[in-house]
Structure 1
């Protein structure tokens, strides 16, 4: 089906190249299984020749999943290709992804070679790989800055040599969408055997154009897109899987492009990548960011409450997010205030609402966000003051001991104490606090930031927890990261 777009996920390979995001084999297997549930067509599991760990991960991922094609990256080097084939031994469907630079910059300045020699190396590597596996994908590195005539010559030659997929990467994120689309169109119309292979788009986000370039390439005839969950990847990242997929869905009448992704698994997959790779998603990230479906402007809140489609082109539940958020701030209007009061079981007539709104604005100017307790005070209802403070925190951890945390909390003037063990001091501390509070909550997000820098710097910790599909945020700050964590977690719990 020519309108079917194959989703090639490279989170485990290109995404894992982000400093600090390396995964061990067990984590790769967990994420690969989630990608299989998500419905990706190809999982690029690693670069086997690069390290024993990467080789082992490709082997184990090949054993763990059965539906997607498992792909292994190589250079146009016979040893690389042999090692990749060995790593793919247990894959039900296997693909070797080999290639070489195609731009003059790469040919002359990186590879110190000539176009003729590079062409010969590419053809030789493709033939060698095709003798080992049925599916060979060839990447023309830096294709975005290549001469179209030479690129077409390379693509035609490697298809003749047995390549089934041709990857046209905008390796440096340089292209404008119309330029990249024109390059794909040129290849579709100037490569005589293009009908024997699928063109693939692999775009980087150095200028913030990765998703736009990917869609431009698909419109021009490419039928595979190479993406990562949350758009993570080398430097500024890769094309975001969730963005490209939801563009195809939202603009289906224009694009007429199909895919096999279960979109309701987008948010769970995003959360897993954040957790396993310790790579936070920026709050305003499209589709999966914390604020993607949050509304604080009064005009927007009023519109969303009347009809979600006034300000949301995607239903958050479609991508696995329980609901939109109406955030009460100084920019909120009467409609949002009335909506939140209704949820608290408080109904006000028009005059009462106007009076409450005037008080609300004064309060909102003093606080960044208004919570339910603030609202109850605002309308004059008696509220028992909640005091939740860390009285003391002691942790024991090290290479030879299971981490333990001893926490004392002041709960409305009454001290509560608990000890817990965990996988590190943070885990132990969170478990101890959870047991004290006796709440069934789930930690959704845990982020630590240094304010300025240095080992004695203040740590700012942000946590997000959930209970019954409702999300709560907490913040804490201290030179001691574990204590900052305890304060942030308690801050979030106090809002449950």
Structure 2
């Protein structure tokens, strides 16, 4: 559609797009519009708008800053000064606080799940696990979460963060405890406080029998 309009309107006409996300395609369609020569695009922080919202400003900025060659036709550039992507998470949190629209664990780019690790793959091959480095690109510090999916590496890392060094038997015991607690409580993420209490008992019991 954008290519047809561009062809019919001619190069002297500045085209704009204003796309909503009813089918979940607002980001893809906005990028397609840019690649077809559209030079003004409407967006909103966190995608806030009527119905299913619009293309989210933070997502659009991120995609254009990271991969302009995939989104723009020819030698076009989207700005005179490239955005500082490390400011996206803070701005999104501010918008969420003012509007009351929460950031979810699955919100792309700025959600609470960005930078979290709950399986062992990121420890071994982070490039296979995530499409970009959240710390290097967005300034988001990685945070290891203990869940029912916890591997030995995850258990060891969370225990170390809480001040405990575990041996092999302790790691296996902690893994079993984590899986059992997650299923018993119906919550995937295990709170640090609960795990710290368990580790205190585990390490005391081990030291008393040694």
Same fold (TM over 0.5): yes
Which residue of 2 is the match for residue 447 of structure 1?
none
Cα distance in 2 for residues equivalent to 1:336 and 1:347: 13
1:30-429 mapped onto 2 (5 Å cutoff): 183-192=1-10, 194-195=11-12, 197-255=13-71, 258-259=78-79, 260-296=82-118, 301-317=119-135, 320=138, 322-367=140-185, 368=187, 369-379=189-199, 380-381=202-203
CA RMSD in angstroms comes to 2.4
CA deviation map 1:161-213 (0-9, x unaligned):
xxxxxxxxxxxxxxxxxxxxxx2211222224x33x43222111122211111
TM-score under structure 1 length normalisation: 0.36
Contact kept in structure 1, 2:32 and 2:71, CA below 8 Å: no
Q: Shift in Å at residue 365 of structure 1?
A: 2.6
Higher share of residues assigned helix: 2
Q: Per the alignment, do residues 188 and 270 of structure 1 end up closer, same or farther by CA in structure 2, a change over 3 Å counting? A: same
Give me the whole-angstrom Cα distance separating, in 1, the residues matched to 2:34 and 2:125. Answer: 33
Cα distance in 2 for partners of 1:286, 1:275 equals 17
Distance in 1, matches of 2:97 and 2:177, equals 40
CA gap of 1:321–1:234, structure 2 versus 1, over 3 A, is farther
> Cα gap change, 1:187/1:283 in structure 2, threshold over 3 Å: closer, same or farther?
same
Q: Which runs of 4+ in 1 moved over 4 A?
A: 318-321
Q: Choose between structure 1 and 2: higher strand proportion.
A: 1
Structure 1: give runs of 5+ residues left out of the alignment: 1-182, 383-496
1-side partners of 2:99 and 2:171: how far apart?
A: 46
Structure 2 unaligned blocks of 5 or more: 205-210
Greater RCO structure (CA 8 Å; 6+ sep): 2
**Structure 2 residue aligned with 1:179:** none
Deviation string, structure 1 residues 324-382 (Cα, Å, up to 9, x no partner) = 33221212222110111122232223333223323333233323232333333434246
